[in-house]
């Protein structure tokens, strides 16, 4: 789905395997919020990572979130950029979300992103 086709409909993914979501619309965009729900708390220690993969090269890649979901019995996670200001991505950047999910928990992932006036 291209951004703006249906308003601010989230990018969504669900399953029981590894999470490997990449969002790269080839236009500037902003990420406002990421939501993750697991059907039960993880017992295996492994990190959920949210990364800005920079089109300018790996020297500019930025880890936005790195969290071991087995710590604190996480079943619901909501991430917003600091200060509740959208995180800006350039036209050739991607948002990459990864989680091994060794426990095989059922997950629901939503990413709220929108077109940006940013001309990076």
How does DSSP assign 33-92, residue by residue? EEEEEESS---S--EEEEEEE-TT-GGG-EEEEEEETTTTT-SEEEE--GGGPPEEE-TT
Domain ranges for the chain: 11-115
pLDDT in tens, 93-103: 999 999 999 99
- For the residues 51-76, what does the mean pLDDT come to? 97
> Given this model, what pLDDT does residue 9 score?
78
User: 11-115, what's its fold?
Assistant: Jelly Rolls (2.60.120)
């Amino acid at each position: 789905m291209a951004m703006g086709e249906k308003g601010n409909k989230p990018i969504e993914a669900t399953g029981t395997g590894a999470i490997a979501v990449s969002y790269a619309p080839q236009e500037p965009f902003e990420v406002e919020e990421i939501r993750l729900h697991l059907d039960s708390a993880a017992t295996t220690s492994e990190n959920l990572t949210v990364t800005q993969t920079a089109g300018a090269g790996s020297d500019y890649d930025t880890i936005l979130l790195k969290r071991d979901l087995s710590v604190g019995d996480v079943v619901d996670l909501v991430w917003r950029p600091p200060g509740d200001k959208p995180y800006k991505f350039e036209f050739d950047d991607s948002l990459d979300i990864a989680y091994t999910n060794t426990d095989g928990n059922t997950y629901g992932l939503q990413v709220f992103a929108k077109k940006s006036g940013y001309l990076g």
